[in-house]
Amino acid sequence: MTDKLNWDELDFSYTEVPFRWRAYWKDGEWYKAGLETDPQLPIREAAPIVNYGQGVFEGNKAYGTKDGRVVLFRPDEFAKRLNRGARRLGMPEVPEEEFIRACKEVVKANRDFVPPHGHNGAAMFIRPMLLGVGDHIQVSAAEEYLFTIYVTPVGPLYKSGFKPHDFVVDSEHDRVAADGNGDVKATANYASTLATANKVRKSGYADVVYLDPATHTKIDELSAANFFGIEKGTNKFVTPLSNTVLPSITKKSLLHLAEHNLGLEVEEGDVFIDDLDRFEEAGAMGNAAVISPMGSLTYNGNKHVFYSETEVGPVSQKLYNELMGIQFGDIEAPEGWVVDVDED
């Protein structure tokens, strides 16, 4: 089947591969953990994931290196974030070492579908999910759970790849990922963004930018990525600090790399939509988006152009090269960030 895949032309879509990982939880313990071949999920109609949305998911990647290895990027952080969501929804946690082992095993089982190094940033997308299952119609936590991981080879999130894209602000709808106490949920509910995202993409924009739900004056994030800006005159790396923003592992990593590897000043704080002139460059960042430069951002019918609508800004380029270089094994990573799937 892999002979039918053109690694250079992959987009961000699903390709079925032979194996997925599953483990089941009941009566206080995990059991029957291992690889399965059936892509259909064994979920009953009365399952809490179907009736009440009791589930959390993650999204990380495996990367092919020049020397033929396959590596994971910061899998411990993805495990921690999934378990924060599990605790928030009254679900059993997946032990971190089991999460990492499961990611390794399912990637190794589908190794032929890991895009080789050097193909337009193509990688293997990893989707872990923890779902409330079983027959349980009460509005309470499930008594049975399924932990499952599927993988699929993918290309760039935005079809044209690493180049400036046009984005638009939606000030009419909110994308809230926090509870009433302001505590960030580990995994956002993307479903609330789908209608708006579909609308703006049909209008020719790459994605939609949401403002804060309280005042609608500050940038929060995009439908499936975080926002960053590069401040004029200082090259400061700026990203919103908000209790409604998904705690992105890519954002966390770029804050570290910007400061420690590239020597930039970094700032998490308010990013006001009326202060876009503050930034020379801007972009989206996330596991799927990686770094996607923002050529323009349209707000209330006014189009603001950043560095260029056709050329990538120099700081965005450096950040992209640094992150991708680490993920694909071309640049030495901070300790513990990159894990070889073949290592115990």
Reported as a single tens digit per residue, the pLDDT across 51-63 is: 999 999 999 999 9
pLDDT digits (tens, 9 = 90+) for 183-231: 444 444 577 778 888 888 899 999 999 999 889 999 999 988 999 999 9
pLDDT at 338 over 60: yes
Residue 343 lies in a domain: no
Q: Is residue 340 included in any domain, yes or no?
A: no
Average pLDDT of the segment spanning 307-314:
96
Task: List pLDDT tens digits, range 141-168.
Answer: 999 999 999 999 999 888 777 899 999 9
pLDDT: which is higher, 131 or 180: 131
Q: CB–CB of 334/67 below 8 Å? A: no
Q: What is the pLDDT of residue 136?
A: 95
> Is residue 46 predicted with pLDDT exceeding 90?
yes
Say whether 185 is catalytic. yes
Beta-bridge partners for 32: none
**pTM listed for this prediction:** 0.93
Share of the chain above pLDDT 70, in %: 94
Q: Under a CB-based contact definition with an 8 Å cutoff, are residues 127 and 12 in contact?
A: no
Same domain, 145 and 210: no
CATH of the domain at 73: 3.30.470.10
- Out of 97, 130, 154, a domain closes at 154
User: Any idea what the CATH number is for the domain that residue 195 is in?
Assistant: 3.20.10.10
Q: Are 106 and 145 in contact (CB under 8 A)?
A: no
| DSSP class of 165 | E
Domain identity same for 30 and 169 = no
Between 16 and 2, the higher pLDDT residue: 16
Say yes or no to pLDDT of 81 above 50. yes
Do 121 and 228 lie in one domain? The reply is: no
Note whether 117 and 171 are same-domain residues. no
The verdict on 177 and 40 lying in the same domain is no
What is the pairing mode between strands 279-286 and 29-36? unpaired
Q: Which of 127, 154, 181 is the last residue of a domain?
A: 154
pLDDT beyond 50 at 182: no
- 80 shares its domain with 43: yes
How far is Cα 230 from Cα 214, in angstroms, rounded to an integer?
Answer: 25
Q: Which of 154, 188, 220 is the last residue of a domain?
A: 154
Mean pLDDT of the chain: 92
Residue 97 clears pLDDT 90, i.e. is over it: yes
CA distances from 28 to 24, 41, 92, 128, 221 (A): 10, 21, 8, 20, 37
Structural domain for 117, as ranges: 2-154
| Count of domains forming the chain | 2
The answer to whether the CB of 326 falls within 8 A of the CB of 115 is no
Identify the active-site residue in 104, 185, 218, 251.
185
Regarding whether 228 and 95 lie in a shared domain, the answer is no
pLDDT value for 73? 98
* 51 lies in the same domain as 193: no
Cβ(175)–Cβ(214) under 8 Å? no
User: Is 339 within the bounds of a domain?
Assistant: no
Question: For tokens 């990538």, what's the residue?
Answer: 312
The owner of tokens 């993988």 is 151
